[in-house]
Amino acid sequence: MSTLVDDDLWSAVGDPTRRRMIDLLLADGDGTATSLSERLPVTRQAVAKHLAVLDRVGLVHASTAGRERRYRVDDEQLARAVRQLNAVGSAWDSRMDRIKRIAESIQRTNDENTRRTDEKNE
């Protein structure tokens, strides 16, 4: 089964700057393009574009307060993203486990068959 992943959601959290923005928004409760840009190595306009991306996939939503535009994380959607991270991680983990187990069983089979192979070669 393929993992049924929302690529837009993944790509949204795949960007390092956006991931840090989510960290900051979670730590502070909310934030604006300006306030976030002061704590990130990019300009306010770059942050604004990232906020637009996060908004499009529903990871944040904005509310206008006077001359400010405050953004807040959407818990529901972030929880969905976390579930997908875990799902992919689990899928990879189990596949690696399976291969590891197969490798071990081959090792055992080789050990058991060493003698027989010698006999067969004549």
- Token pair, residue 55, equals 């908004």
Instruction: Kindly tell me which residue out of 52, 63, 65, 85 binds its own copies, with binding defined by CB under 8 A.
Output: 85
Q: Which is nearer to DNA, 35 or 77 (CB)?
A: 35
Q: How far is the CB of 114 from its own copies (least distance, A)?
A: 5
Q: For residue 39, what are the contacts with CB-CB under 8 A and spacing of at least 6?
A: 24
119 near its own copies (CB under 8 A): no
Please, which contacts does 70-77 make with residues 24 or more away whose CB atoms are closer than 8 Å? 70/30, 70/31, 70/32, 71/25, 71/30, 71/31, 71/32, 71/33, 72/25, 72/29, 72/30, 73/22, 73/25, 73/26, 77/9
Instruction: Kindly tell me which residue out of 3, 43, 105, 110 binds DNA, with binding defined by CB under 7 A.
Output: 43
> Would you tell me which residues interact with its own copies (CB under 8 A)?
2-3, 5, 7, 10-11, 13-16, 19-20, 22-23, 26-27, 29, 56, 58, 73, 75-76, 78-79, 81-82, 85-86, 88-89, 91-93, 95-96, 99-100, 114, 117, 120
